[in-house]
Amino acid sequence: MPTALKNCARVSRNRQASRQLHLHLSAPLPPQQVVLSMPENKKQLICLVSSALIKEVSSRQQNGELRTKLILLSGEPCPIEVDKGLPVERDDMRTTHEEADLSIARFCMLFAENGLQTINVICDGTDVFVLLLHFYHVRSMSCKLLMQPTSPSRSLIDIGATANQYAAIIPHLMSAHVLSGCDTVAYMWGIGKGKVLKELAKGAEFKHFGVHGADTKAAVYEAAKFSVRLYGQEKATDMSQARHQVS
């Protein structure tokens, strides 16, 4: 997608590795940087892994070794569901959004709406964490939604319990997270997420920034006001003054 927010980052990655590979299952796996630095290589890898996984799960389901249903998002608009050995396209789950983080959150919402009582998301991403908290709160979800880390050194997060505990700041968390830095927005110099959460706990709110259809000037003013608070410059009248005082 030439207009994607992360396009600049992708262009930079492509400069680091320009060798397009011809991957197949019997070939040794190339270095991670070589594969992930080029979109064409990543697409090949996703296609290979997806095809092999669908084949393996179908075979094991047909043999009675596996009863678990698999729904796989393999880079195509329609996810593939494999159940009882038969792979079919789930057109009701079609998505053209390229961000996996949003797809994870969206599918969690769909599974919850279909009656699934326990959902376990295996992921370490902060963006996914914020998205899950946001939608759990907005949708008034009641299912058990867990975020399991990929490393045993990290703790399992109960999204529902966290959303209930911090219900006062959840409505403003998404805007604060985006403003202070995420996958598609540069991070603020010297400002960690702990500082952001402290400002929200003090009562910082977003009534315009991040709200669809809100007045642009009001949204910009709100964003600037929050930014100067993060740098301890509440008395600054604009970003230029705050920047001068910080430097």
Inter-CA distances, 61 with 55, 85, 91, 121, 137, Å = 10, 5, 22, 23, 37
pLDDT tens-place values along the chain, 247 residues long: 455 555 555 555 555 555 778 888 888 888 888 887 888 888 888 888 899 999 999 999 999 999 888 998 877 889 999 999 999 999 988 888 778 888 899 999 999 998 999 999 999 999 999 999 999 999 999 999 999 999 988 999 999 999 999 999 999 999 999 999 888 788 888 889 999 999 999 999 999 999 989 999 999 999 999 998 888 887 777 777 777 777 6
CA 113 to the chain's CA centroid: 20
Number of H helices, E strands in the chain: 10, 6
In angstroms, rounded to a whole number, what is the distance separating the alpha carbons of residues 183 and 167? 24
Q: Are 176 and 200 in contact (CB under 8 A)?
A: yes
Q: Indicate the SS3 state at residue 7.
A: helix
Quote the Cα angle for 158-164-170, to 5°: 100
Does the pTM of the predicted model rise above 0.95? no
